[in-house]
Amino acid sequence: MRRGRTRAFADPDGLAALGQLLVQTTPATRRLVLQVAGLLQATGAPAIIAPFHAAAREALDTERTLEQRVDALGLLAHAPFSLLAPAGRQLLAANQPLDLQLATFNALTLADDPGVGPLLLAGWNHYSPQAQAAALDALFRRQDRLRALLTAIEQKSIPVPGFDAGRRNQLLTNPDADIRRRAEALLSHAPVDPDRQPLLDRYRQALSGPRDPARGREVFRANCSSCHQLEGVGIVRGPELIAATQGRADETLLLDILEPSAQITVGYRTYQIVTRDGAIFSGILTGESATSVTLPDEDGFPQTLLRKDIASMEASDVSIMPANFADVLEPAAVADLLAYLRAIAHAGPGPVLTLFDDDPGFAELLTEGDGTATVVTTERYAGTASLLITPPQRFAAQLGTWNHPIVEHPDSGSYRYLRFAWKAPAAEGVMLELAASGEWPPADQPLRRYVAGQNTTGWAARSLASQPPADWTVVTVDLWRDFGAFTLTGLAPTALGGSAYFDQLQLLQQPDPNGTVGAATPP
């Protein structure tokens, strides 16, 4: 059909058949149906457009169940943008269930209309941390959306998001010269009050002098450990510092310390919430679920607000990090602190390598799949957060700079065992698939796939349990024994028939001293 010439197709039975396929089949087939409809010049036919109108009404219908509304969004994701956009604006409101918001972001991600970027950015300051992470994921999928993002930052309609190293690199090394130029201007330095310039110059001069990482450790423990954790010391309330140092110059990190509100990592903004009865609450969101958000009250105790009771929610442009470090720390102390962070970051892998624990940017690295990936604080096995996957999966065959050899006798930089925690109380099954050298295993071989519960994928996998984990379950598997030597470069956390959580993914050189290595069996 692509190679030939087609006339407008008007047969009512044929169009009705296409319309039925839109409603009663998979996302992949829906895309094919729309391609066929386009080739037949029939995308505006009532039989094709009517299911999308029905899906928009159902997604907005609060009398429907959450599952029905999310399912409707699955179809609406393939609708013309003129239908998707009005529904999307309403479904991204803070009082909508979180799962519905995430499904809306997923639907908008699939759209190729230039209006997607401005639509996503219009509600930025009203999004919760998980919603902001999902919005960033969608924005970084297309070049036109990156241009819209940079425009919003330049016009100060949104603050500079706290980009992780991967996002920053995607902007600064973008093949589009205009995106590179604009990103460099925005990210190479934070805006500085001219009155503070002499002060900042003093701290910059200290960076060229001698530095003592041991003294920097003491500076960290005395001044930073109330919000950050390193080497097992401190409380995790702020961003992960080692990830924040990677690929960033010392002068940029210096500005992060002395001008903390210039760029705030997603997930660490202060929110002001006004409820429908006029009450006002403010603080960092310490948790959020499909139907509620949690933040501390004035005494530090957690308080939970139902989303349906929220009239407005807006993120502040002021960081929780103190802005008076220049009054507390001498330039030499800051230089020592940066030396300590660099020393920890370059210490190299040890007998345990953590692939994921609490990093809020990890979900953004899983760039493919029809499901969603979100780092959430409402469920966790350890630390402060876990990775939430909605069906079917999110994945990346090359995840960042992963290049981890799996061998029989590991030494420095190589590993043999994988330990992780997972939980899927509402799912039929849960799976973890591993990529080797950027390649996924064959579908018909139980190679580099582990599953618990019912395997509904059609892909052969090694079974770890006959039932999905109803509560947090720690699994340690012998990768070399199960699959032989390979180089781990990516993974695909998969949820089967319901959402699944993953936490504390780690590579080990030795068997888990706190548990028995799981015995995986092929199907």
Q: Which of 420, 455, 448 is nearest to 434 (CA)?
A: 448
Query: Any idea how long the chain is?
Result: 523
Taking residues 167-187, what's their average pLDDT? 85
Q: What is the pLDDT of residue 262?
A: 65
Q: Give the helix ranges, DSSP H, for 224-323.
A: 241-245, 250-258
Q: What is the pLDDT of residue 500?
A: 95
Q: Each residue of 392-414: pLDDT tens digit?
A: 999 999 887 788 999 998 877 78
DSSP, collapsed to helix, strand or coil, labels residue 415 as: strand
Q: Which residues pair with 453 in a beta bridge?
A: 429
R_g (Cα) of the chain, nearest Å: 25
Rounded (10°) angle between helices 46-60 and 66-76: 150
Are the C-beta atoms of residues 353 and 347 closer than 8 Å to each other?
A: no
pLDDT exceeds 90 at position 205: no
Q: Which of 314, 354, 374 is nearest to 134 (CA)?
A: 374
> What spatial distance separates the first Cα and last Cα of the chain, rounded to whole Å?
41
Structure tokens at 322: 């103190």
Q: Which residue has the higher pLDDT, 283 or 335?
A: 335
Structure tokens at 222: 């005395």
Q: What is the pLDDT of residue 201?
A: 82
Q: Give the helix ranges, DSSP H, for 140-212.
A: 143-154, 165-172, 177-187, 197-207
Taking residues 109-132, what's their average pLDDT? 89
Q: Which residue has the higher pLDDT, 186 or 479?
A: 479
pLDDT exceeds 60 at position 284: yes
Taking residues 243-272, what's their average pLDDT? 70
Q: Which residue has the higher pLDDT, 167 or 405?
A: 405
Q: Each residue of 24-74: pLDDT tens digit?
A: 667 667 778 877 887 788 877 888 888 888 889 999 999 988 888 988 888
Q: What is the pLDDT of residue 218?
A: 92
Q: Give the helix ranges, DSSP H, for 352-491.
A: 362-365, 479-483
- Specify the range with the lowest mean pLDDT, choosing from 399-408, 466-475, 481-490, 504-513: 504-513
pLDDT exceeds 50 at position 514: no
pLDDT exceeds 70 at position 521: no
Q: Which of 115, 112, 113, 137 is nearest to 127 (CA)?
A: 137
Q: What is the pLDDT of residue 431?
A: 97
pLDDT exceeds 50 at position 519: no
Strands (E), 1-77: none
Are the C-beta atoms of residues 225 and 233 closer than 8 Å to each other?
A: yes
Taking residues 499-504, what's their average pLDDT? 93
pLDDT exceeds 70 at position 146: yes
Q: Give the helix ranges, DSSP H, for 80-223.
A: 81-91, 98-110, 116-122, 129-139, 143-154, 165-172, 177-187, 197-207, 213-223
H or E stretch at 406:
strand 404-406
Q: What is the pLDDT of residue 522?
A: 40
Q: What is the pLDDT of residue 121?
A: 94
pLDDT exceeds 60 at position 516: no
Q: Which of 455, 439, 415 is nearest to 491 (CA)?
A: 439
Residue type, 456: T
pLDDT exceeds 80 at position 520: no
Q: Kindly indicate the confidence band of residue 383, based on its pLDDT and cuts at 50, 70 and 90.
A: confident
Q: How far apart are CA 155 and CA 464, in angstroms?
A: 52
pLDDT exceeds 80 at position 76: yes
pLDDT exceeds 60 at position 518: no
Taking residues 196-218, what's their average pLDDT? 84
* Percent of all residues in the chain with a pLDDT value above 90, rounded to a whole number: 30
Q: Which residue has the higher pLDDT, 81 or 359?
A: 81
Q: Which of 419, 413, 418 is nearest to 351 (CA)?
A: 413
Question: In sequence order, which residues have a C-beta less than 8 Å from that of residue 316 and are 6 or more positions away?
Answer: 269, 270, 271, 272, 282
Q: Which residue has the higher pLDDT, 250 or 441?
A: 441
Taking residues 6-32, what's their average pLDDT? 79
Taking residues 81-96, what's their average pLDDT? 92
Q: Kindly indicate the confidence band of residue 488, based on its pLDDT and cuts at 50, 70 and 90.
A: very high
* Structural domains of the chain ordered from first start: 1-91 (no CATH), 194-263+323-345 (1.10.760.10), 270-317 (2.30.30.100), 352-508 (2.60.120)
Q: How far apart are CA 522 and CA 19, in angstroms?
A: 41
Are the C-beta atoms of residues 418 and 507 closer than 8 Å to each other?
A: yes
Q: Kindly indicate the confidence band of residue 435, based on its pLDDT and cuts at 50, 70 and 90.
A: very high
205, 316, 357 from 282: Cα distances, Å: 38, 9, 27
Are the C-beta atoms of residues 403 and 486 closer than 8 Å to each other?
A: no
* Percent of all residues in the chain with a pLDDT value above 70, rounded to a whole number: 85
Q: How far apart are CA 158 and CA 263, in angstroms?
A: 11
Are the C-beta atoms of residues 216 and 341 closer than 8 Å to each other?
A: yes
Q: Each residue of 316-364: pLDDT tens digit?
A: 766 667 777 777 889 899 899 988 888 876 654 457 788 998 787 888 8
Q: Kindly indicate the confidence band of residue 264, based on its pLDDT and cuts at 50, 70 and 90.
A: low
Q: Kindly indicate the confidence band of residue 482, based on its pLDDT and cuts at 50, 70 and 90.
A: very high
